[in-house]
C-alpha cells in the first residue's frame, strides 16, 4: 500500500513530494475524551507523505492556528489536514489561516472526527475510525493542487422583481449606493398590497403616504428604471452576469380600476396615486414588448397574497355579512370618504351594531382538523401580522363608532413587536370582548334565530368561560385572514427557486445568510420569504440591498474553484458529459483541431458548473475531473480507509 502510494505520488508530482502536516484537535475534550488523539498522531506519523503531526486543545484558537501557520511559513509543510469538528464550522477558518500564512487556501483538507467519531463512537473503535478518516484526508491532501477562485466580472446592476414596499425600498437603497436598478412589476401599479390599505398597524400612519414616500425615493433616482405590467419570462447566466427576459403586456381590463385617471395615462404623469390600487408610474403599454436586461444580481420581492377563505368557511361567500379583514379595511376607508351625519357604521346598506372578529383564518392550520389544500398542504405557520391588524381595526371601530360593539374570537393573541402589545391593552380599555377558542372547537357562524335583532349569530366554546358555549347575535363577521406566498409558479420553475414546507421562498440559513438563496446572486426581500409586516419587509429589503451592493461592489465575483475541468488531450468530443450535465450551459462542445483534423471537445463554463461530478462519471475517456475532488484523490482516500496497517 505505502509503495503504491509512493509510486502514484512520484507519478503525479514530478517535483518535490508534497509534505503533509496533520493537526488534530482535542476540542477541549469533546474529541479527546473518546479518541486517543496522541495515538492517532503517532499512527499518522508513520504514513508516507506525512511530515508533521501535532495536536492542540483547540485547533481553532489563535495559538492552534499559529501552529499551522508557523509550519507553513517555515516551509516544513505544504499540504495541511486539520482533524476536528464538521467542516461547516471551521473549514473556512483554516483556509483563511493558510491565506494569512501566504499559502494557497486550497491545499487544505478537513477531517471530521467529532460529529462523525467522538460524538457517536467510544473507546478503541473511536480511535481506529478517527485514524482511518485522518489517514484518508492525508492521502487526499498529498494529491491536492493549489487552485485559484473563479473570478467573473459583475454587472453593476440589479433587477428587482416586485414593486411592493419591499421592492421599492430595495430599489431606493441600491440606487442610493450608486447601483443601477430595474424594477419589474407585474401589475400597472406600485405599492403592492400596502397601497390597498388605509392605516397601518400599530402606528396608524396612512398606508398611502408610506407607499408614496417609498415610491418617490425610488422614482426620483435616475438610476432606477421601472417596468410595470411586466413579467420576467426567462433567466440565463450566473451571479454577476445574468440576462433576464422581461415581457410587458397590456393589462387585462379586470386588473384595472373602473376609473383610471385618464390624464395620468394619456399624459404619462408619473406617480399618480389611484386609490385601492397604488401608484401609476407610467402609461399603460398598448402592445406587448420583450426586452433583455443584463444584470449582476436579482432580488425577489414577489410578496404574498391574503388567504381566500373557502366558500362556507365561517359562512364566507354564503352571507354578505361575512367579510375578510382586507375587505373590512376598505369598508372602513370608504365610510371615511362619505361620513354620515351620525357615527353609524353602515355595511351593505345596513347599520352595524355588533361585529365579531375571528383570528387565525387560514393560518396555524392543524392536520386532521383543517381541510388540506388540493395539493395536500396546510398553512401550518402563524401569519404574524393578523393579530395586530385585527386589534388595530377593533380599536378603530370602537373609537370612530362608539355605539358598535366588538367581540374578538382568538386562539392566541400574538402581538409581538414594538407598539403592538399596547394595541391589546388599548382594546381592553376600548371594551372589546375577547373570547378564546381551541382549534378543534372553532366558532360557528350561523343564521340568527327568528326574532333576533341581528341577521347572524356566532357560537363559541369559550375557554375563558371555562369551556361554556356562549353565543352572540352579530351584524358583521370579520375573518382575520393570513398570508400565503404570492402565486409565482412560473418563476419558481424557471429559476429553480427553493421553497420551504410552508411554500414560501427559502433562504440558505435563517440567521447566517437570511436574505440569500442557494443560487448565488439571487436574493430575497419581504413577504415572498415569510409573513412580515411593512416595517419588517422594509428591513429585509434593506438587507437584500446591502447584500447586493456587497456582491456588486468589487466589480467581480469570486466563486469556489471546485468545478469540472476538461483534459483537452483526452477529450474525444463524445458529448456524453453534456447529456449528463445538470445545469444548462455549464458544458458546451467547441470546435478544435485534433491531429490536423477538425473535431469537437467539451468546454466548461466554470461560473455555471455546480461541481456535481455527473460528467466525470459518464466520460469514457476519463477526460473530465472536478478540481479539488479528482478521481485519483478519491482512490487514495478509499485506499487509506481500507488499508490493513491502520486497523489499529
Site string for other proteins, 329-368 (x = CB under 8 A): -------------------------x--------------
Spatial distance between the Cα atoms of 201 and 164, rounded to a whole number of angstroms: 17
> Around 94, how many Cα atoms within 13 Å sit in the side-chain half-sphere?
31
Burial class (CB within 10 angstroms; exposed 0-12, middle 13-18, buried 19+) of 284 = middle
Asked if 397 is part of the footprint of other proteins (rule: CB under 8 A), the reply reads: no
For helices 37-45 and 123-141, what crossing angle results, to 10°?
Answer: 40
CB of 433 to other proteins, least distance (A): 6
Point out which span in 93-101, 261-269, 462-470, 521-529 binds other proteins (CB under 8 A): 462-470
CB of 462 to other proteins, least distance (A): 8
Cβ proximity to other proteins: between 217 and 464 the closer is: 464
Asked if 434 is part of the footprint of other proteins (rule: CB under 8 A), the reply reads: yes
Asked if 448 is part of the footprint of other proteins (rule: CB under 8 A), the reply reads: no
Closest CA to 572 of 516, 632, 609, 621: 621
Asked if 419 is part of the footprint of other proteins (rule: CB under 8 A), the reply reads: no
Asked if 33 is part of the footprint of other proteins (rule: CB under 8 A), the reply reads: no
Name which position in 7, 292, 431, 554 contacts other proteins (CB under 8 A): 431
C-alpha cell at 413: 393573541
Provide the 3-class DSSP secondary structure of residue 439: helix
Burial class (CB within 10 angstroms; exposed 0-12, middle 13-18, buried 19+) of 263 = exposed
Asked if 466 is part of the footprint of other proteins (rule: CB under 8 A), the reply reads: yes
Point out which span in 135-143, 469-477, 553-561, 595-603 binds other proteins (CB under 8 A): 469-477
Containing 328, the helix (H) or strand (E) segment is helix 325-337
Cβ proximity to other proteins: between 303 and 315 the closer is: 315
Closest CA to 49 of 84, 23, 79: 79
Cβ proximity to other proteins: between 421 and 588 the closer is: 421
CB of 428 to other proteins, least distance (A): 5
Cβ proximity to other proteins: between 114 and 411 the closer is: 411
CB of 334 to other proteins, least distance (A): 25
Asked if 422 is part of the footprint of other proteins (rule: CB under 8 A), the reply reads: no
Q: Which residues pair with 426 in a beta bridge?
A: none
CB 170 within 8 A of CB 300: no
Name which position in 1, 265, 470, 520 contacts other proteins (CB under 8 A): 470
CB of 346 to other proteins, least distance (A): 19
CB of 398 to other proteins, least distance (A): 10
CA 441 → CA 149, 183, 472, 575, distances in Å?
59, 46, 16, 62
Length of the chain, please? 648
Asked if 465 is part of the footprint of other proteins (rule: CB under 8 A), the reply reads: yes
How far does the chain reach from its first CA to its final CA, in angstroms? 16
CB 252 within 8 A of CB 233: no
CB 542 within 8 A of CB 170: yes
Site string for other proteins, 602-621 (x = CB under 8 A): --------------------
Number of residues that bind other proteins (CB under 8 A): 20
CA 149 remoteness from chain centre: 25
Name which position in 205, 372, 412, 469 contacts other proteins (CB under 8 A): 469
Point out which span in 175-183, 318-326, 427-435, 492-500 binds other proteins (CB under 8 A): 427-435
C-alpha cell at 566: 476538461
CB of 405 to other proteins, least distance (A): 4
DSSP per-residue string spanning 525-539: -GGGTS---HHHHHH
Closest CA to 522 of 557, 504, 547: 547
CB of 312 to other proteins, least distance (A): 23
Spatial distance between the Cα atoms of 576 and 617, rounded to a whole number of angstroms: 10
Asked if 399 is part of the footprint of other proteins (rule: CB under 8 A), the reply reads: no
Residues lying near other proteins in the complex (CB under 8 A):
354, 405, 407, 428-429, 431-434, 436, 459, 464-466, 468-473
Amino acid at each position: 500500500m505505502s509503495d503504491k502510494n509512493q509510486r502514484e505520488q512520484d507519478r503525479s508530482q514530478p517535483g518535490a513530494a508534497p509534505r503533509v502536516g496533520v493537526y488534530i484537535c482535542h476540542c477541549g475534550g469533546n474529541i479527546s475524551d473518546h479518541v486517543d488523539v496522541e495515538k492517532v498522531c503517532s499512527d499518522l506519523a508513520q504514513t508516507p507523505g506525512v511530515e508533521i503531526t501535532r495536536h492542540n486543545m483547540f485547533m481553532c484558537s489563535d495559538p492552534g492556528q499559529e501552529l499551522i501557520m508557523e509550519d507553513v511559513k517555515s516551509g516544513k509543510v505544504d499540504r495541511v489536514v486539520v482533524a476536528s469538528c464538521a467542516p461547516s464550522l471551521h473549514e473556512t477558518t483554516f483556509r483563511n489561516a493558510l491565506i494569512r500564512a501566504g499559502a494557497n487556501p486550497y491545499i487544505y483538507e478537513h477531517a471530521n472526527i467529532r460529529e462523525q467519531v467522538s460524538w457517536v463512537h467510544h473507546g478503541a473503535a473511536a480511535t481506529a475510525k478517527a485514524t482511518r478518516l485522518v489517514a484518508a484526508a492525508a492521502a487526499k491532501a498529498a494529491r491536492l493542487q493549489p487552485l485559484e477562485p473563479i473570478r467573473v466580472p459583475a454587472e453593476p446592476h440589479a433587477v428587482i422583481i416586485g414593486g411592493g414596499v419591499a421592492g421599492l425600498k430595495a430599489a431606493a437603497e441600491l440606487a442610493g449606493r450608486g447601483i443601477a436598478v430595474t424594477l419589474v412589476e407585474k401589475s400597472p401599479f406600485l405599492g403592492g398590497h400596502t397601497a390597498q390599505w388605509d392605516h397601518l398597524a400599530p402606528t396608524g400612519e396612512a398606508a398611502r403616504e408610506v407607499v408614496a414616500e417609498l415610491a418617490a425615493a425610488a422614482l426620483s433616482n435616475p438610476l432606477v428604471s421601472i417596468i410595470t405590467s411586466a413579467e420576467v419570462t426567462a433567466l440565463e447566466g450566473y451571479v454577476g452576469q445574468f440576462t433576464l427576459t422581461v415581457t410587458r403586456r397590456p393589462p387585462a381590463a379586470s386588473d384595472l380600476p373602473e376609473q383610471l385617471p385618464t390624464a395620468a395615462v394619456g399624459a404619462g404623469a408619473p406617480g399618480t396615486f389611484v386609490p385601492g390600487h397604488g401608484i401609476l408610474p407610467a402609461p399603460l403599454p398598448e402592445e406587448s414588448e420583450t426586452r433583455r436586461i443584463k444584470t449582476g444580481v436579482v432580488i425577489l420581492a414577489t410578496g404574498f397574497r391574503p388567504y381566500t377563505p373557502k366558500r362556507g368557511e365561517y359562512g364566507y361567500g354564503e352571507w354578505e355579512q361575512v367579510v375578510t379583514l382586507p375587505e373590512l379595511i376598505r369598508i372602513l376607508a370608504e365610510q371615511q370618504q362619505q361620513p354620515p351625519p351620525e357615527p353609524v357604521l353602515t355595511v351593505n346598506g345596513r347599520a352595524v351594531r355588533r361585529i365579531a372578529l375571528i383570528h387565525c383564518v387560514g393560518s396555524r392550520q392543524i392536520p386532521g382538523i383543517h381541510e388540506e389544500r388540493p395539493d395536500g398542504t396546510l398553512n401550518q405557520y402563524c401569519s404574524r401580522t393578523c393579530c395586530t391588524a385585527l386589534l388595530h381595526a377593533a380599536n378603530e371601530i370602537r373609537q370612530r363608532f362608539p355605539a358598535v360593539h366588538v367581540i374578538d374570537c382568538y386562539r392566541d393573541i400574538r402581538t409581538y413587536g414594538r407598539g403592538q402589545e399596547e394595541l391589546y391593552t388599548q382594546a381592553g380599555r376600548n371594551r372589546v370582548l375577547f373570547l378564546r377558542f381551541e382549534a378543534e372547537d372553532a366558532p360557528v357562524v350561523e343564521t340568527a334565530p327568528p326574532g333576533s335583532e341581528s341577521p347572524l349569530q356566532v357560537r363559541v366554546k369559550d375557554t375563558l368561560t371555562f369551556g361554556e358555549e356562549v353565543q352572540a347575535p352579530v351584524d358583521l363577521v370579520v375573518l382575520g385572514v393570513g398570508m400565503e406566498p404570492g402565486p409565482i409558479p412560473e418563476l419558481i420553475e424557471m429559476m429553480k427557486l427553493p421553497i420551504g414546507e410552508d411554500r414560501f421562498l427559502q433562504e440558505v440559513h435563517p440567521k447566517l445568510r437570511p436574505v440569500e438563496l442557494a443560487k448565488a446572486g439571487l436574493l430575497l426581500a419581504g413577504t415572498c420569504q415569510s409573513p412580515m409586516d411593512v416595517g419588517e419587509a422594509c428591513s429585509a429589503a434593506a438587507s437584500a440591498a446591502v447584500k447586493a451592493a456587497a456582491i456588486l461592489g468589487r466589480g467581480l465575483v469570486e466563486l469556489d474553484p471546485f468545478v469540472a475541468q476538461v483534459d483537452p488531450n483526452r477529450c474525444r468530443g463524445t458529448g456524453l458529459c453534456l447529456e449528463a450535465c445538470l445545469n444548462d450551459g455549464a458544458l458546451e462542445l467547441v470546435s478544435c483541431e485534433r491531429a490536423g483534423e477538425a473535431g469537437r471537445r467539451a468546454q466548461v463554463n466554470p461560473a455555471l458548473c455546480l461541481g456535481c461530478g455527473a460528467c466525470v462519471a459518464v466520460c469514457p475517456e476519463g477526460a473530465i475531473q472536478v478540481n479539488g475532488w479528482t478521481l485519483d484523490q478519491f482512490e487514495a482516500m478509499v485506499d487509506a480507509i481500507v488499508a490493513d496497517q491502520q486497523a489499529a
